[in-house]
Amino acid sequence: MTQNKIAAIILGAGKGTRMKSDLPKVMMPVCGKPMIRHILDTLEKSGVSQIVTVIAPDGDLVKKEVSPYQTCIQKQQLGTGDAVKSAKELLKNFDGDVLVIFGDQPLYTTDTIQKLVNKRREGYSIVCLGFTPDDAARYGRLIMENGELKRIVEYKDANEQERAVRFCNSGMMCFDGRKMFDILDKITNENAAHEYYLTDAIAIALKEGLKCSAVECPVNEAAAANTREELAYLEQLLCQRNGK
């Protein structure tokens, strides 16, 4: 039985193109260590028993960095839902909690991970991690009712009332491992980009009569790096946290 155990899937197949680097994005250094190493350290401290990193076909550098943890290959970049499904063979029999974490978000803490897992164990199939920034800008919104997550609305699809919601989606999620891949298998790519979006898992779970929720983390923890400027900001935040 693995019900009290935690596994994690790190999405690490992104390229460093917008960073103007040949390094895979998750290998970009923050405070002297690759971004993904900070995530691994936090997951280990959180008692995560199994870690799978999704890598690109040419992701040997990432594979070496995360060793001895397992990796799986996302053959084509077909969206976040497709990336997570790449881990199916390695985690299909895992019936504990499964975290999905983006490899360019190295600032999450053990407290936040525990909060997410604890909420999931209250009987939810999926729990999302949200944050409330001063400027919600173009983030996807988490629409809550009576403590339950009813939908995730992308900014471009949101009406005026939904755009007024400031509780935003960080991207990190926690799934019930027993139901996770059944839900993911039902995600389609019937959208403008023809990609499989992980966020569609919420609508599918709710349609199946399952419950979803969300918990909140401090704004800085949800910071991600897509550009050199954002990378420098991550470094500043992490060095402040470490008292450097």
Residue tagged active-site, from 18, 138, 163, 241: 18
| 18 in active site | yes
DSSP states of the chain as a string? --TT-EEEEEE---B-GGGT-SSBGGGSEETTEEHHHHHHHHHHHTT--EEEEEE-TT-HHHHHHHTTSEEEE-SS---HHHHHHTTHHHHTT--SEEEEEETT-TT--HHHHHHHHHHHTTT-SEEEEEE--S--TTPPEEEEETTEEEEEE-GGG--HHHHT---EEEEEEEEETTTHHHHHTT----STT----TTHHHHHHHHTT--EEEEE--GGGG---SSHHHHHHHHHHHHHHTT-
Q: Are 104 and 62 in contact (CB under 8 A)?
A: no
- Report the distance separating Cα 54 and Cα 24, nearest Å: 12
**Beta carbons within 10 angstroms of residue 22's beta carbon:** 10
Q: Are 120 and 214 in contact (CB under 8 A)?
A: no
Catalytic residues: 18
